[in-house]
Amino acid sequence: MNLSSGLRRVIVIGASNVTMSFPLLVNSIMQSLAGPVQIFAVQGHGRSFCQWSYVLHRGLPPVTECGLWDALTVHPPAERIWGLVTDVGNDLIYGVDVETLVTKVQDVFHQLSRIHADLTYVRLPVERILMLTDFRYRIVKKLLFPGPTVPWKIISQRVVELDERVSRLARDAGGTVITPRLEWYGQDPIHIRPAKRLSAWQEILDTWPFPDVPKTTWPSSHRSVQLWRTAPARRSYWNRSFQTIQPCWRMTADKTLWQY
């Protein structure tokens, strides 16, 4: 196997929590790794592992069917690869059963293992989620996930089962499993609150065996806007398909961002 000399590749898979802190993550990873760096990101509000997901008429393909996996087969192997998987619970809200979702997440873990990625999995914030009442759950569901509502009694049981099974799969795959801290969350039970994003992501990135300890820092406002506006290879708006050539952004000639 011919490795690209010095190339570091980071694969980030998540949904809203990744999207809200995306400039922070990209900037911190790029600044922490010397030499050529590729970030491959699969993210977006409401992102699903199992089906197309739609937020404000913007559609994104499921994680397991996006262009990432084909892209990885045509890129030369990297010297080191890190993988982050988080935000796995959206499909439960969409009505997907636990078995189907676990199978899809397991496939992602297998794909990352196949390319010898060091895996970090961030668990669901189960402790915070289970503090919800049925009434609060319905409010959160209506605000963040329009559509049919699965009863809270069923969802809460599925959350616990999903968390246990996926955490076990991550450990079996040799990954590092991170339990979110309760203080990361406020009234919103699933999104890290703004005041805690810096420290939360610093703790997560600290688990990666980077050559040097990563320093988590936000980029400038201008660069943050640039990164938030980068587009994935495939998406839809109002049922019209759009494609974007990748990489979608460069920090330097050899530090690139690819989105799927």
Note down pLDDT in tens along the chain; length 260 residues.
Answer: 445 668 999 999 999 999 999 999 999 999 999 899 999 999 999 999 999 999 888 999 999 999 999 999 999 999 999 999 999 999 999 999 999 999 999 999 999 999 999 999 999 999 999 999 998 888 878 877 767 788 999 999 999 999 999 999 999 999 999 999 999 999 999 999 999 999 999 999 998 877 777 789 999 999 999 999 999 999 999 989 999 999 999 999 999 999 99
Q: What was the pLDDT predicted at 35?
A: 92
Q: Where are the domains of the chain?
A: 8-254
Residue 206 is encoded by which pair of tokens? 């600290």
Side chain identity at 40, as an amino acid letter?
Answer: F
- Report the pLDDT value the prediction gives residue 1, as an integer from 0 to 100: 46
DSSP string, 107-155: HHHHHHHHTT-EEEEEPP-HHHHTT--HHHHHHHHHHHS-S----HHHH
Dig out the tokens for 113 from the structure: 């293992």
Partner residues linked to 8 by β-bridges: 37, 80
How confident is the model at residue 4, as a pLDDT? 63
Q: What are phi and psi of 237, to 5 degrees?
A: -135, 125
Can you name the residues that pair with 80 across neighbouring β-strands?
Answer: 8
What is the structure's pLDDT at 211? 76
Residue 144: per-residue pLDDT: 74
Reading the block at residue 195, the tokens are 């005041």
What residues contact residue 73 under an 8 Å CB cut-off, 6+ apart?
Answer: none
Fold of 8-254: Rossmann fold (3.40.50)
How many whole angstroms separate alpha carbon 106 and alpha carbon 151? 26
Give the Cα separation of 68 and 87 in Å (integer).
17
pLDDT of residue 96: 94
